[in-house]
């Protein structure tokens, strides 16, 4: 296990250096092109500075940047207790030193990712859609996959190399654009050079052009290849943690069946997710520019694991599915395969009946509101009343059964500030019906009428107003309207 | 004279290597202890949850006195167990009692829909998973530690300072066994 992590770390550092050299080379070529003979030093230094700043930024706040881009919000256990339980289970299974912080992305597309610096400082983000669509075993599979990314030190690597890749692409893009518009650098504008050095210049120009075009492509391909391999490895580690391949397999199946696109995902963050958030349903092409292996292939590999949960079993299943001709022959580093111990799989649990679709939709809505710090009160008539965080009134009217509820102000503010408040469940059950003395207003005629509620708020009723009761929007008091005509007619 | 220096150098080298091995053995032993205490925490949590479960279910399951006594007795037995072997056995029995309890619950749809009951059930399921995973982790650590004690050259240091192999934590029920069974013969 430890050897595996170490070999992974070394590879990350290797890739990091290769991409860094790519960036430096690009920088020096651009410098040379613009500033003449000694320009490459300036270019190199600028590229180095960019690299250092980018690395520092991504080391210290890469995770919070990514979480902010993805619109993920940190949540407390009462928003989704099961999610916290499942993450804690995986933390125990993988012997992580600290519990990852948990974020929910308020989006209906099912997906998840992990980010962070190291196992001591890591975060897991899942979408609301994922939570409402998956059952417990499937959720466990997904969380195990994310924990595997943390455990295998993929999180920092992916952030780092993503940032590096971004700077390479950015630099070469600027260079090529400026070439296009300016039609050449300083060397072409100065015509003092002799003929022989002119030829050299032409060669230099072509070389720098080729490099500027190739560097981002090569860096990208390398990044994608490694990213794909890491996905397989994380699947393998997830199985070793949960010992239950079917959970992850059916979770992936559900994720692949959705046709909702994750709104907050973009090209830069796509590689982080458990399944490519940008791919549409049914795209099964396995090409060089994919950050993820084709999802149905991953499912097939997982489903063909039958003997045990160790790495060697995953590699065997991979070979069986790919028929030994996959792009990447060995997805598991040798140290993982050499572990001979046979780890038994968990027994399959019986398949759960599919969730009612409308219920799933309601779950997503509730979950997104919970993430946005809405407060829920269950009325005795069964209606779940959702109170927005900026709700100011002290009473609440149930639109279905006309009961009045006192809003527990203290608990509400505690709920908004809080971390893991246990008294919350108690308060919800102890809220009693609170009836303020209703205000009675007698209609004078049948036209527009204006009056004051006993709280002082001005009310107006139109000629067509036919309800006998309504609620004061300021104090929450019931207002009863008595109709004059009826009494006078009788 | 040269031979003397050489001998001294060798002795110092052996001494340093032994210190390194000793330290790594201590580290591994502490890891084993730590993962054992993790199991203990989760087992205790489960013992705490069972009264909650019984309390929530009682109102709905009036005619299942036998089921309640079985689960309560299994709980007190598990709480009294001392050694690793005893614990494994008692916890296995408690496992059986709990799963039997949930089989009985299947006959009470009202109870299954109760929010409080669902919350307790989720907690219990999670605690059971946590027990299984911490057991998995404990056995991994024990395997590392035992391997180290038996392998050369750490076995010499282990023998000198009396490091003993640890017991694996295995559940009695054969179907429940999800940990690697290691044969040392």
Residues of A in contact with B126 (CB under 8 A): 82, 85-86, 88-89
What is the rounded distance in angstroms from the CA atom of residue A445 to the CA atom of residue A304? 79
pLDDT band at A197 (very low <50, low <70, confident <90, very high): low
Which is nearest to A73 in space by CA: A99, A100, A105, A101? Answer: A105
Residue A382 burial (CB < 10 Å; 0-12/13-18/19+)? exposed
Collect all residues with Cβ–Cβ distance below 8 Å to A391 and sequence separation of at least 6.
A375, A407, A412
Provide the percentage of residues in chain A whose pLDDT is more than 70.
76
Q: How would you list the strands of the sheet with A112-118, edge to edge?
A: A73-74, A101-105, A121-127, A112-118
For residues A179-188, one letter each, b for 16 or more C-beta atoms within 10 angstroms of the residue's C-beta and e for the rest, the string is beeeeebebe
Interchain pair B126, A86: CB under 8 A:
yes
Smallest CA–CA distance from A88 into chain B, residue: B130
Q: Which residues contact A137 (CB under 8 A, 6 or more apart)?
A: A244, A246, A247, A250, A349
Q: Cα–Cα distances in Å, from B37 out to A119, A149, B168?
A: 21, 26, 14
Interface of A with B in 34-63 (CB under 8 A): none
Tell me what pLDDT residue B10 has: 94
Chain A residue with minimal CA distance to B41? A92
Measured between CA atoms, the residue of chain B closest to residue A86 is B126
**Cα gap A148→A388, rounded to integer Å:** 37
Query: B129 near B42, Cβ under 8 Å?
Result: no
Mean pLDDT of chain B: 82
Highest-pLDDT range among A302-316, A427-441, B66-80: B66-80
Q: Is the pLDDT of residue B71 over 70?
A: yes
| Interface confidence: ipTM more than 0.85 | no
Bridge pairing between strands A384-387 and A375-378: antiparallel
Give the DSSP H/E element, type plus range, for residue A33: helix A2-35
Q: Helix, strand, or coil here: A249? A: helix
Q: Is A89 on the interface with B (CB under 8 A)?
A: yes
Interchain contact A5–B (C-beta under 8 A)? no
Strands A469-471 and A478-482: antiparallel
Q: Which residues of A touch B35 (CB under 8 A)?
A: 95
Average pLDDT over residues A59-88: 88
Check A243 against B178: CB less than 8 A apart. Answer: yes
Flag whether pLDDT at A428 surpasses 50: no
The lowest-confidence range among A97-101, A479-483, B17-21 is A479-483
Q: Which structure tokens are listed for A485?
A: 């005509």
Q: Ranked by mean pLDDT, which of A194-203, A266-275, A315-324, B114-123 comes out on top? A: B114-123
Task: State the pLDDT at residue B178.
Answer: 40
Question: Are the beta carbons of A86 and B35 separated by less than 8 Å?
Answer: no
pLDDT of residue A488: 46
Determine contact, residues A159/A54, Cβ cutoff 8 Å. Answer: no
For residue A344, the chain B residues in CB contact (below 8 A) are 177-180
Cα A81 from Cα B97, distance rounded (Å): 25
Cα angle for residues A283, A284, A288 (degrees, 5° grid): 105
**Catalytic residue numbers of A?**
146
- Quote the CA–CA distance of A376 and A49 in Å, as a whole number: 51
Q: How confident is the model at residue A145 (pLDDT cuts 50, 70, 90)?
A: very high
Is residue A420 very low, low, confident or very high in pLDDT (cuts 50, 70, 90)?
very low
Give the pLDDT mean for B41-63.
Answer: 84
The domain A439-489 having CATH identifier 3.10.660: the answer here is yes
Domain ranges of chain A: 1-358, 373-430, 439-489
Looking at chain B, the number of H-run helices and the number of E-run strands are 6, 0
* pLDDT(B59) > 70: yes
- Closest partner CB to A93 (pick from B119, B136, B175): B136
A422 pLDDT more than 70: no
- Which of A133-147, A385-399, A408-422 has the lowest average pLDDT? A408-422
Does residue A326 register a pLDDT over 70?
no
Mean pLDDT over A1-8 rounds to: 67
Q: What is the pLDDT of residue A445?
A: 77
In the prediction, which pLDDT does B95 show? 85
B154: phi > 0 → left, psi -120 to 50 → alpha, else beta; which? alpha
- Which residues from A are below 8 Å from B38, CB to CB? 92
User: Quick one: which of A254, A282, A466, A451 has its CA closest to A360?
Assistant: A254
Contacts of A294 (CB under 8 A, 6+ apart): A284, A285, A286
Q: Is residue A430 predicted with pLDDT exceeding 60?
A: no
Interior angle at CA A312, CA A307 and CA A314, nearest 5: 70
**Cβ of residue A187 closer than 8 Å to a chain B Cβ:** no
Give pLDDT, residue B181. 40
Chain B CA closest to residue A341 = B180
Percent residues over pLDDT 90 in chain B? 10
Among the residue ranges A54-68, A216-230, A415-429, B140-154, the one predicted with the least confidence is A415-429
Residues of chain B with Cβ-Cβ distance to A151 below 8 Å are none
Who contacts A97 (Cβ-Cβ below 8 Å, separation ≥6)? A119, A120
Buried b / exposed e over A295-331, threshold 16 CB at 10 Å, is: bebbbbbbebbeebbbbbbbbbbbbebbeeebeeeeb
For chain A, what is the mean pLDDT? 76
| Domain map (residue ranges) of chain B | 2-176
Q: Residue A249: its pLDDT value, please?
A: 92
**129-158 in A: which are within 8 Å (CB) of B?**
136, 140
Q: Quick one: which of B180, B40, B172 has its CA closest to B95?
A: B172
Residues of A in contact with B119 (CB under 8 A): 81, 425
Q: Which residues of B touch A88 (CB under 8 A)?
A: 126, 130
* Smallest Cα distance from B126 to chain A, Å: 6
Q: Which of B119, B133, B180 faces A89 most closely, judged by CB atoms?
A: B133
Q: Is the dihedral of CA A302, A248, B180, B147 positive or negative?
A: positive
Please give, rounded to a whole number of angstroms, the shortest distance from the CA of A86 to a CA of chain B.
7
Is the C-alpha dihedral spanning A153, A154, A157, A160 positive or negative?
A: negative
Residue A108 has pLDDT above 50, yes or no: yes
Contact A95 B123 (CB under 8 A): no
Average pLDDT over residues A161-165: 78
Residue B102, min C-alpha distance to chain A (Å):
15
Helix (H, G, I), strand (E, B) or coil at A1: coil
CATH topology of domain B2-176: de novo design (two linked rop proteins) (1.20.1440)
Q: Cβ A346–B178 below 8 Å, yes or no?
A: yes
Nearest to A344 among B129, B137, B178 (CB): B178
Q: Which residue of A has its CA nearest to B37?
A: A92
Task: Count Cβ atoms within 10 A of the Cβ of residue A433 and give its class: 0-12 exposed, 13-18 middle, 19 or more buried.
Answer: exposed
User: How far lies B183's CA from each of A31, A341, A383, B177, in Å?
Assistant: 65, 10, 59, 15
Interval A92-116 mean pLDDT: 90
C-alpha to C-alpha distances, A101 to A109, A114, A421, nearest whole angstrom: 21, 10, 17
Helix axes A295-303, A195-242, angle to 10 degrees: 40
How close B11 gets to chain A, by Cα (Å)? 31
Residue A471 tokens read as 């609620």
């Amino acid at each position: 296990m430890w050897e595996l992590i170490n070999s992974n770390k070394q590879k990350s550092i290797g890739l990091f250096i290769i991409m860094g050299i790519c960036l430096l080379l690009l920088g020096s070529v651009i410098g040379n092109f613009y500033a003449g003979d000694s320009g490459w030093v300036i270019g190199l230094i600028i590229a180095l500075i960019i690299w250092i700043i980018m690395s520092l930024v991504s080391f210290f706040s890469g995770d919070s940047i990514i979480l902010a881009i993805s619109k993920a919000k940190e949540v407390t256990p009462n928003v989704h207790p099961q999610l916290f339980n499942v993450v804690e289970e995986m933390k125990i299974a993988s012997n992580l030193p600290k519990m990852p912080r948990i974020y929910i992305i308020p989006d209906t597309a099912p997906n998840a990712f992990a980010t962070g610096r190291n196992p001591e400082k890591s975060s897991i983000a899942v979408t609301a859609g994922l939570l409402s669509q998956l059952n417990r075993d499937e959720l466990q599979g997904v969380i195990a996959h994310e924990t595997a990314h943390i455990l295998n030190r993929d999180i920092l690597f992916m952030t780092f190399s993503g940032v590096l890749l971004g700077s390479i692409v950015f630099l070469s893009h600027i260079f090529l654009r400026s070439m296009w518009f300016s039609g050449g650098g300083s060397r072409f504008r100065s015509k003092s050079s002799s003929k022989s050095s002119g030829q050299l210049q032409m060669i230099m120009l072509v070389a720098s052009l080729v490099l500027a075009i190739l560097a981002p492509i090569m860096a990208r391909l390398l990044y994608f290849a490694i990213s794909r391999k890491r996905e397989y490895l994380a699947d393998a580690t997830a199985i070793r943690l949960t010992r239950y391949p079917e959970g992850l397999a059916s979770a992936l199946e559900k994720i692949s069946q959705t046709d909702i696109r994750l709104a907050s995902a973009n090209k830069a963050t796509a590689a982080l997710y458990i399944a490519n958030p940008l791919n549409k349903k049914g795209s099964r092409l396995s090409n060089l520019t994919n950050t993820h292996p084709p999802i149905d292939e991953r499912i097939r590999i997982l489903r063909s694991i039958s003997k045990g949960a160790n790495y060697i079993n995953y590699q065997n299943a991979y070979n069986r599915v790919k028929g030994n001709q996959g792009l990447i022959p060995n997805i598991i580093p040798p140290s993982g395969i050499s572990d001979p111990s046979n780890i038994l799989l968990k027994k399959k649990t019986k398949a759960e009946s599919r969730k009612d679709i409308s219920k799933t939709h309601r779950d997503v809505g509730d979950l997104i509101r919970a993430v946005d710090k809405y407060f829920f009160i269950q009325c005795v008539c069964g209606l779940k009343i959702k109170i927005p965080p900026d709700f100011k009134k002290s009473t609440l009217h149930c639109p279905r059964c006309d009961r009045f509820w006192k809003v527990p102000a203290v608990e509400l503010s505690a709920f908004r500030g809080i971390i893991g408040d246990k008294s919350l469940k108690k308060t919800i059950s102890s809220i009693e019906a609170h009836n303020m003395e209703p205000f009675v207003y007698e209609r004078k005629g049948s036209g527009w009428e204006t009056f004051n509620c006993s709280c002082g708020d001005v009310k107006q009723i139109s000629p067509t107003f036919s309800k006998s009761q309504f609620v004061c929007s300021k104090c929450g008091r019931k207002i009863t309207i008595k109709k004059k005509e009826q009494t006078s007619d009788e | 004279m040269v031979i003397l220096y050489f001998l001294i150098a060798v002795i110092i080298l052996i001494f340093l290597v032994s210190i390194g091995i000793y330290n790594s053995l201590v580290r591994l032993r502490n890891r084993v202890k730590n993962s054992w205490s993790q199991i203990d925490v989760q087992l205790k949590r489960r013992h705490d949850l069972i009264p909650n479960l019984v309390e929530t279910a009682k109102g709905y399951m009036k005619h299942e006195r036998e089921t309640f006594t079985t689960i309560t007795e299994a709980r007190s037995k598990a709480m009294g167990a001392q050694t690793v072997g005893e614990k494994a056995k008692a916890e296995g029995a408690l496992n059986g009692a709990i799963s039997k309890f949930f089989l009985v619950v299947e006959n009470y749809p009202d109870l299954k829909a109760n929010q409080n009951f669902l919350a307790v059930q989720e907690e219990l399921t999670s605690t059971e998973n946590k027990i299984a995973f911490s057991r998995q982790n404990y056995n991994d650590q024990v395997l590392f530690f035992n391997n180290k004690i038996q392998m050369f050259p750490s076995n010499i240091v282990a023998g000198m300072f009396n490091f003993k192999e640890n017991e694996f934590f295995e559940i009695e029920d054969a179907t429940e066994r999800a940990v690697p069974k290691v044969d040392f013969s």
